[in-house]
Structure 1
């Protein structure tokens, strides 16, 4: 097999994650097309979708991204690895099917069904939230009552933090803010995703839920189109699915795959023959959201394709469990940024790591303008500092 370097792998991923933007002013269809290309965005921080889309779709506004949510062209829900993601409506059936595979053991451990199955529990949750938006408290109460009625011998652990999550964390639900903007952390409401999908998407959902092998294969293809070339470990981390079903899926797809050896000795695969990227494929400078795909699309040891290990420790290992929002410069994560203040006016601080290029205010002009449009705020001052 041919060998590839971290730089090669990074360049291929950047080409996929930062596609050529349209020449027109972006609209809702462009937001959908972007997410269909780059894949779901991890968005437990609500503003992350707005920031991540803006970094990849110059000129997009807060109003346009909001409209994509309101029209149910893009959806937000808990799915991959049990975390909140924003995806296209067309992707949601695959994310739900993947989540049922990857999270099944965890659900069993906490819900402990005896007389019922997990699929019956999921159906009960979906029936309850099909016609109106439900709060987390309502969903938790419903799940407890449903289990008591349908599985009185079961001993679900619903009073722990993790247990309470299962009432609203089911991958078949989507969420929206019940108050405030989509980019804010307002109280969420949850509804059954299939109530908002098109007939074609519902048909795909039925197919994938009925055939776990087909779901795993579709998930592998989805990851390859958004991030490839990738290793089996990258696919497993991103999807939350174990290596055994992924290996079986890769074996079934072997005739479609191109393989190469990575710098870590792992096998990396892609669906299409890799074309050598050019310098034009490498984005200049961007302000990315916490949990951006350049980190969360890959197994942690393989994130060296974008960031120096000592810098990764700074970005990722925060005491509160949250990442710092990364600064991307010429394809490398070389710092982080914060936006302070409330209301319409904010103050931006961009920090860069020792030994990396110092970003200039002139280079930050376009990313800052994109941030303003996407979040609907005004950035008053921009401070640049070296991380100590």
Structure 2
């Protein structure tokens, strides 16, 4: 069977906007993973998918360890359940560890020993400076020629960007903020395999091409193929000529009428190969939303299951305006349709929206 972009979108919406399973922890587990280098994205994303989710509920889930946040796949920050985070850590080991070894000029065996030493050191909460000092000390004793690489560019994040640690605000409060973090070793829930990595992706984002899974996970296509070998999947041709894979027990597709205010780096974009995100957004709109020079994404506006604009909540005050922009030649959201998503945003971020503006942009 040949699938169109609308077919792929409807199938993915069934995973990303499921029936409410009840608790914040169960909601996060149901949607798989959330890219949250912008910390507020977890709050906004849960509010958009499960309206009425409160700031206090999400903060309490973080504080209790029912959901966790840290640097994992592709070196980005993700929020997930402990079960899913364990799988993300395995994807990070496969996808990122060879990259770190090449960057430092050491063997993968040496790198694995360094990671183990970091995990031992971070059995209690550590600051980024403490982790950097630990890495420098280890390299000074075992690979002094790598110290310069560890001090520049991505090397500065070596101590906490390898999928084995989780982070929390140093203050212990305001989980939605970008304040100073501290890091500690993540206690995995058990072993994870490449099949688990591919299964997590398909359950949360499928149907997907092999390239989608590879981009999302940061793993090479050879690892994706190895993971697929252990799964019961169905395969159909997609609108771009690629093969699209899905789990045999995938939920039925769904429509999503109405308006949602999605977070930066939402899964409807970041779950897929950055070159082929047509199921939810046109290429020209994607270019407007994604700044390739710095990797930043504007928070998307979702209308009837399509991304057709963006929005902003300017400032950091407890009272702030919301500016909604829709792209010309797409459906204009009605002002009345913004009432529910704005209320969901207020509850999730614990803010008051002072006013809502609605403008059109030619793209």
- C-alpha distance after superposition, 1:221-250 (max 9, x if no partner): 111111111110110011000001212322
With over 3 angstroms needed to count, the CA separation of the structure-2 counterparts of 1:342 and 1:300, relative to structure 1, is: closer
Instruction: Tell whether 2:216 aligns with 1:224.
Output: no
Partner of 2:6: 7
TM-score if structure 1 supplies the norm length?
0.89
The question of 1:176 aligning with 2:174 is answered no
Deviation, 1:53, is 0.8
- 1:161: which partner in 2? 153
1:34 is displaced (CA, Å) by 1.4
Computed over aligned residues only, the root mean square deviation of the Cα atoms, in angstroms, reads 1.8
Rounded Cα–Cα distance in structure 1 between residues aligned with 2:108 and 2:253: 55
Deviations 1:255-313 (A, max 9, x none): x11111001111111112666535xx424210000110000001123310101111111
Give the C-alpha shift of residue 319 in structure 1.
4.9
280, 297, 305: which one aligns with 1:306: 280
Once the 2 structures are TM-superposed, how far is the Cα of residue 35 of structure 1 from its aligned partner?
A: 1.5
8 Å CA contact 1:115–1:154 kept in 2: the answer is no
| Deviates further, 76-85 or 105-114 | 105-114
Question: Larger deviation: 349-358 or 334-343?
Answer: 334-343
How do 1:61-210 residues align onto structure 2 when only pairs under 5 Å count? Answer: 61-113=54-106, 117-131=110-124, 133-152=125-144, 157-179=149-171, 180-194=173-187, 201=189, 204=190, 207-208=191-192
Q: Judging changes above 3 Å, is the alpha-carbon distance between structure 1 residues 51 and 114 closer, same or farther for their aligned structure 2 residues?
A: closer
SS in structure 2 opposite 1:91? Answer: helix
Does the Cα contact within 8 Å between 2:96 and 2:162 map onto a contact in 1? no
| Contact 1:285–1:327 (8 Å) recurs in 2 | yes
* SS of residue matched to 1:335: strand
Within 2, Cα distance between the matches of 1:185 and 1:141?
23
Q: Is the 8 A contact 2:136 2:147 kept in 1?
A: no
Tell me, in whole angstroms, the C-alpha distance in 2 between the residues paired with 1:96 and 1:274. 24
Residue 377 (structure 1) aligned with residue 351 (structure 2): yes
Instruction: Show structure 1 runs of 5+ residues with no match.
Output: 209-214
Q: How far apart in 1 are the matches of 2:202 and 2:108?
A: 39
Return closer, same or farther for 1:7/1:95 CA change in 2, 3 Å cut-off. same
On the 8 A contact 1:21/1:58 being kept in 2, the answer is no
Q: Is the 8 A contact 1:351 1:385 kept in 2?
A: yes
Taking structure 2 as the reference length, what is the TM-score of the superposition?
0.95
User: Is 1:315 equivalent to 2:307 in the alignment?
Assistant: no
Q: C-alpha displacement at 1:37, in angstroms?
A: 1.5
Q: 1:320 to 1:247 in 2, by over 3 A?
A: closer
1:212 aligned partner: none
- The answer on whether the counterparts of 1:76 and 1:174 sit within 8 Å (CA) in structure 2 is yes
- Are the structure 2 counterparts of residues 231 and 158 from structure 1 closer, same or farther at C-alpha, using a change threshold of 3 Å? same
C-alpha separation in 2, matches of 1:283 and 1:144: 53
SS at match of 2:307: strand
2-structure distance, mates of 1:326, 1:31: 22
User: Once the 2 structures are TM-superposed, how far is the Cα of residue 321 of structure 1 from its aligned partner?
Assistant: 2.9
